[in-house]
Structures are given as C-alpha cells and as structure tokens.
Amino acid sequence: MNQDKLSTINIVNRSLNQRHRSEKRFKIWGLSAVCLSLFFLALLFFNMISHGWQAFRQTTITLNVYLDRAVLNADTMANADYALLIRNAINAEFPELTSRADKRSLFALMSTEAPYQIRKQVLKNPRLADSTVNFKLLAASSVDMYQKSSGDYTGQLNTTQLECLKKLKEQEQLKTEFSLSFLISSDSREAEQAGILGALTGSLFTILVTLAIAFPMGVAAAIYLEELASKNRITDIIEVNINNLAAVPSIIFGLLGLAVFLNVFGLPRSAPLVGGMVLSLMTMPTIIIASRSALKAVPPSIREAALSVGASHMQTIFHHVVPLAMPGMLTGSIIGIARALGETAPLLMIGMVAFICDIPRGITDPSTALPVQIYLWSYSPERGFVEKTSAATLILVLFMLLINAAAIFLRKRFECRW
C-alpha cells in the first residue's frame, strides 16, 4: 500500500516537474519574442535617427559679395542677375582658376537658392547697393554630403571642386550648422532646399477633414446599430459588411475616391478635401466597431436605473450611456485616425503624389501628405534625399506616438469604473 502511494506521488511529482518546465519554456519563448521585437524596434529607430538627424544641419559657404549697383539696376532690383554677383564673388576667392570649365565648377558648389537669399536681403535693405556684404549662402547638395561625411563622400565633385572646398574649409568659410529649414521649407527638386512644411500642412488638413466626417458619422452609426436598430436580417447584413469593410485593403478606398469623388463629382484632384473624404471612408468602420464595443461595455444596470426613474429611451442613451462610453469611442476614433495618418496608397490614387512646392492654405488647395512625401523622396536617386526620408519618417512616427499617447490619456482621463 505504501509502495503504491509512493508510486503515485512520484508520478504526480514528475507531472508537476514537466508542467513547471513547460511553463518555464513558455516564459522564455515569450520573453525572447518580446526582446526580439524590442531589438528590431530599437534598430529601426537607430537607423532613422542615425540618418535623419543630419537633415537638421545645413552647409553654407560664406562669401564677400559686392552688390554692384550696375547689376542691380540693370532692370529692377527684383529681377537683377544675382547669380552674376555670386559668380563674381566666388571667382574673386579663386583668381587662379581662369578657364570657363573651372568657373562653372565653382558656381556649381552653390545651391540654386543662393541668388534668392541675396535678393531677399537686397529687397529688404536697398541701401546695400554698391557695398560688399558678407553672406552665408546655401551650398549645393553634393557639397552638403561631402561636408557631413567629413570628406569621405565626394559624389560628383571633381578635383578642382574638392581643392576649392578644402581651401574654403581651412579659411572657415565652409561650415555645417544646425538649421530648422527642414521643418519650415516646402518640397523642392534640390535636396538641400527640400522640407516637409507643405506635406505636414497637407496631412493636417487631411486629418482634420477625416476627423470632421468620420467621427460624428461613425459614432452616430454605432449608436443606432447598438441602441436603436431592431435585430433582424438587414441589421445582421449591415454588421457583417461593416466588419468586412474594416479589412478591405486601403487602395480599394483610393479607387473608390478616384471613381466617385473625382470622376463623378468633379472635386479638385490632389486636395486635402478629397484625401480626407477617402480616409474617412476607410476609418469609419474602425470607429463604428470601437464605438459599439464601448457601448456594449456600459453595464445594463445604468440603462435600467435611468429608465426606472422615468427617463425616456433617448434620454437614457444620450444622458447616461453615451457619456460613459465616450472614452472608448474617443480611443477607437483616435487609433483609426492614427492609422489614416500613415496611409499612402489611397492618397496616391487621388493624385496627391504630384510634386507641389507651395504650402496649402485650405482644404481645396493642391497638396501632398507626409507619407506620400516620404514615398517620393525614397525613390529619388540623389543621396541628399536619404537623410530627408529618414527625418520625415521619424517625424511621422513621432506624430503617431503622440496620437496614441493622446488616446491613452483621454481614456485614463475620462474612464469610469463600476
């Protein structure tokens, strides 16, 4: 009898040991999966930061430019040949270079924005005419890459240009300094001039339109389906279709916007208005599903208590149920909007892929969006756009994190515990 009891205890102990080892293995696998995910996330952020932080530094070439009145008054100061003034100044820095090819190489070190920098200062203060002024002028993208790589990257720079850059660096006329031009400039064909302000403004207008359409319509649909609609075959079909729409690829909504909003209604192409309408269609199923879940989470006792003291059905819904469900509704809506912020495919279909260098002033102005801007820069062959792409991606990720943090804050702020 004692032997049988010992045998049973041994079997139980072996079984318990196996279960404990199995649980330990499961914990190890789970912890490994979490650590691996965090590793790849850290690798992603490291890659973006290591490439993107250089977008906030800009290389300039300091030149003493003689503002010849004869050149400025050739037509008017607004239309004067400021590029000639720069050529004269840089040729004066290197008088030993006399051939036409060398002079062209020297002028190629400057950005195409440099003449406009001088023009802006002259128009602001016309008294500068006939004087020599020290200007910090924007360098070309190839020079910017050369400077940021500490001379390791030469790109398309020839021997003459490299020697001139070394001389300018020795004289402290070639410098790379912190600059916010990436954040306050719009898109450009030239990497050293490109910024994200236009795309950022377009994304803001697009998201505002999306929020203005999707949130009230999604919440209203959720309230009707959950609280007012009778349960029958029609509502079952509607619920199935809403769940299916939440899983439809985003490019399908882009095709719908192209076919309906542009071709049928004739709305302006590449406008935040159309982009917001397309994204609202894509976001609405997510908002409806999240809002219905929030309404279901409200305890039935709340409804019963309101009805027992004489409140009507509509008063119960809008005075008691909806306020309690609002934190969940807001969370679902913000998460849906965050998803829409990062969408590219539907915006490509409605023409927001066009090159637009102007900053939009309204929802009907031509514009692009931040994800589309990243897509365009990533396919640019010029190396200067690599850091712009990484910096824009980093800013987009930061916006997504801020939006998700706002969702968590609102949920914690308005959450009710029963």
DSSP states of 15-68 = HHHHHHHHHHHHHHHHHHHHHHHHHHHHHHHHHHHHHHGGGGEEEEEEEEEE--
Does some domain include residue 21?
A: no
Could you tell me if 232 and 296 lie in one domain?
A: yes
Does some domain include residue 88?
A: yes
Write down the pLDDT at residue 31: 93
Does some domain include residue 89?
A: yes
Could you tell me if 163 and 253 lie in one domain?
A: no
Write down the pLDDT at residue 6: 60
* Owning domain of residue 377: 197-414
Could you tell me if 397 and 283 lie in one domain?
A: yes
Distance of alpha carbon 267 from alpha carbon 129, whole angstroms: 49
Q: Which of 148, 179, 210 lies at the terminal end of a domain, its last residue?
A: 179
Could you tell me if 379 and 253 lie in one domain?
A: yes
Neighbours of 49 (CB within 10 A): 12
CA distances from 406 to 61, 211, 335, 402 (A): 43, 15, 10, 6
Write down the pLDDT at residue 416: 63
Write down the pLDDT at residue 248: 85
- H-only helix segments in 185-321: 197-223, 233-245, 250-257, 272-296, 300-308, 313-316
Does some domain include residue 2?
A: no
Distance of alpha carbon 223 from alpha carbon 320, whole angstroms: 13
Does some domain include residue 48?
A: no
Could you tell me if 390 and 301 lie in one domain?
A: yes
Could you tell me if 266 and 380 lie in one domain?
A: yes
CB contact at 8 A, 388 and 411: no
CATH number at residue 389: 1.10.3720.10
- Tell me the HSE value of 397 on the side-chain side, using a 13 A CA sphere: 13
Could you tell me if 364 and 216 lie in one domain?
A: yes
Q: Which of 151, 179, 207 lies at the terminal end of a domain, its last residue?
A: 179
pLDDT tens figures, 105-127 = 889 899 999 999 999 998 888 88
pTM of the shown model: 0.85
Does some domain include residue 103?
A: yes
Looking up tokens 């119960």 gives 316
Does some domain include residue 260?
A: yes
Total tally of structural domains belonging to the chain: 2
Q: Which residues of the chain have pLDDT under 70?
A: 1-6, 74-75, 414-418
Write down the pLDDT at residue 76: 74
Could you tell me if 235 and 157 lie in one domain?
A: no
Looking up tokens 């062209």 gives 104
Could you tell me if 214 and 164 lie in one domain?
A: no
Could you tell me if 400 and 308 lie in one domain?
A: yes
Residue 120 parent element (H or E): helix 114-124
CA distances from 277 to 185, 207, 211, 332, 356 (A): 27, 10, 10, 18, 20
Could you tell me if 145 and 236 lie in one domain?
A: no
Q: Which of 130, 151, 179 lies at the terminal end of a domain, its last residue?
A: 179
Could you tell me if 157 and 223 lie in one domain?
A: no
Distance of alpha carbon 402 from alpha carbon 404, whole angstroms: 5
